[in-house]
Structure 1
Amino acid sequence: MALSSWLVTTTNKEVAATVSGLYGGRLRRTDRQQEVFELMLDRDAIAVNIDGPGSVVNRMVLEQEEGRGPIHVCDGSNLLEPMDSAGDLCGCPKSVFDRKAAARSGHGPKPDARLSFRLAAAPGVGMFFLASSSWEFSDSLSAAVLDMERGASGAGMEICLQRKVVTTRSGMAVSYVHPILSVAEPDFVAPVHLQLAA
């Protein structure tokens, strides 16, 4: 289920306090044994820096039942796994509509899109990680990788939550939220001065 705002988890209390100071949100400890902290942020968009195309994993995966691992991993055209089949045609439909239909029916892969990034406002607090099965997020990562391969910088990007309302054939309105990676507005990535909480 898609969340309506960003949820950040960390095992570092100082990182949690820094993120909370930057973007608001309530900090809570979810596991007292392992010191896991959770933050539901008050922001829809966060300025980020990406180190390059290597910070993106964007593939299509069909999982076996009961979480026994993938049975199909591809890039939409060619197989990526297993290694002895890497590069072979994957057999996925050409059109996005048919790919989505196959994924919904459980017969085709869905996106496995992952992004590693640093907060533009506090790059020193470390690397963050976002994973999503959203088709829109996968498309936005593909566009960003293409831009970076053409020489664009991975700095000055933003991840934001987009909300959509779709009306089904039966007339029911369904709303959903998905992440998007895009180029940030210049004012949005202005440096922020902060102090780490002890």
Structure 2
Amino acid sequence: MTQSTAARAGRFHSGRLSEGLPQALDAWRVTTDDADVAARVAGFLGGEPRPNEGTGGAGLAYEVLTSRESVRVLLAGPDAVAAHMVLWSSTGLIHHCDGVEFLSPEEKKGQPCGCPPLLEDRKLAARDKRGPAPSVDITFQIAAAPELGAFHFMTASWQMAAQLSDLTDALERVNGPAVCDLTMELVVYTTKAGRDVCYRKPVVTVLGSPDTVAPEPPPAAEPTPAPAVSAPRRKARPGPEPTTPSVPEPRHTVSVDAALLRRAARVLGTDDHQETVIAALSEIVAGRQQTAELARLREHVGRIADIARQALQDRDSSPT
């Protein structure tokens, strides 16, 4: 995998340095030397252009802390991905290979580098400073604004290194420019010691060619608010309105058409009133927040069912 030589408009970052300390971010950070590019990036991805005070931007003058954890990008092909293994010391680069052969210095180029074949063994050697770590450089354009020029994202992520073979195979299958999603994917897990761990890893997902994939994902449908499950109270019987009610007001404010519930149950394939209400509401609630909405509705549906049952009992016991 060789490095693309396209002129670069800026860089994408998953973190920054703040007061000398590394800071992980939940959304992409973009740095650039071009004020117009910074403004356009902010227009597409959110955020505001500002002077680059976070360092980690190779001296680039502006940064944009975007609001996007996933950006649709355009990769020219497998050559847009460069992957090396490097080991640095206080004197400079002391190991540079592709995992199989040395890439430098010139007198060692092409010779076996001696790196372990298994990724886990390479990670252990790198952790102990006995072997190199990944250096991955991906060059791309923002799919919705390719005229801004080429950006690149550099990472030492072992997860990205493990993904590279599948990534380049997918890019080769597209056989030309490929639309991809560059995502800071959230990873949450619990260690064997019971400690909760949460971090983000970079992931590139190949979607297809520009002829078949939109440069921006379609907007998510807004969930439709669930209507209140209520109906008018039964009308009072004709007659003079007493100054003091002789019969207490019913505690419930919901009346239910039993025949309608039975018809709904047949259509929805449910067995009781409670599940009929849930199923009917699930037909209304849609979009990405459907699961959360239904969980919230299920908390209240028991109370709704109790009210409905009480209403039916009152109706059945009332004189005709």
- Normalised by the length of structure 2, the TM-score is 0.53
Residues 146-186 of structure 1 show CA distances to partners (whole Å, capped at 9, x for unaligned) of 33345533321121111213434433222222211111386
Question: Which of 137, 146, 155 lines up with 2:178 in the alignment?
Answer: 155
Question: Which of 9, 19, 22 lines up with 2:44 in the alignment?
Answer: 22
Whether the 8 Å contact between 1:79 and 1:85 is mirrored in structure 2 is yes
Offset of residue 76 of structure 1: 1.3
Find the residue that maps to 1:77 and give its secondary structure. coil
Distance 1:143 1:158 in 2: 15
The 5 Å alignment of 1:102-181 reads 102-150=125-173, 152-181=175-204
2:28 maps to amino acid: W
Q: Who is 1:70 aligned against? A: 93
1:20 maps to amino acid: A
Bigger Rg over Cα? 2
How many matched pairs?
A: 188
1:189 paired to 2:215: yes
Q: Who is 1:41 aligned against? A: 66
Unaligned runs of 5+ in 1: 193-198
Higher mean C-alpha displacement, 179-188 vs 79-88: 179-188
Whether the 8 Å contact between 1:121 and 1:191 is mirrored in structure 2 is no
Higher strand fraction: Structure 1 or Structure 2?
Answer: 1
Q: Who is 1:196 aligned against? A: none
Whether the 8 Å contact between 1:115 and 1:130 is mirrored in structure 2 is yes
Higher mean C-alpha displacement, 126-135 vs 169-178: 169-178
Decide whether aligned partners of structure 1 residues 188 and 90 sit closer, same or farther in structure 2, where only a CA change above 3 A counts. same
2:75 maps to amino acid: I
Offset of residue 190 of structure 1: 4.1
Unaligned runs of 5+ in 2: 1-21, 54-58, 219-320
Find the residue that maps to 1:4 and give its secondary structure. strand
Seq. identity, %: 36
1:61 maps to amino acid: V
1:55 maps to amino acid: A
Residues 127-150 of structure 1 show CA distances to partners (whole Å, capped at 9, x for unaligned) of 101100001222333333233345
Decide whether aligned partners of structure 1 residues 83 and 35 sit closer, same or farther in structure 2, where only a CA change above 3 A counts. closer
Offset of residue 82 of structure 1: 1.3
Find the residue that maps to 1:18 and give its secondary structure. helix
Find the residue that maps to 2:100 and give its secondary structure. coil
Residues 77-107 of structure 1 show CA distances to partners (whole Å, capped at 9, x for unaligned) of 2211112212211111121111111111111
Whether the 8 Å contact between 1:58 and 1:142 is mirrored in structure 2 is no
2:129 maps to amino acid: G
Whether the 8 Å contact between 2:72 and 2:216 is mirrored in structure 1 is no
Distance 2:198 2:157 in 1: 14
Q: Who is 1:195 aligned against? A: none
1:45 maps to amino acid: S
Distance 1:39 1:105 in 2: 36
Distance 1:151 1:7 in 2: 28
Offset of residue 73 of structure 1: 1.1
Decide whether aligned partners of structure 1 residues 20 and 55 sit closer, same or farther in structure 2, where only a CA change above 3 A counts. same
Distance 1:81 1:127 in 2: 27
Q: Who is 1:11 aligned against? A: 33
Q: Who is 2:307 aligned against? A: none
Find the residue that maps to 1:131 and give its secondary structure. strand
1:44 maps to amino acid: E
What is the alpha-carbon root mean square deviation over aligned residues?
Answer: 2.5
1:124 maps to amino acid: E
Distance 2:194 2:120 in 1: 20
Distance 2:141 2:122 in 1: 32
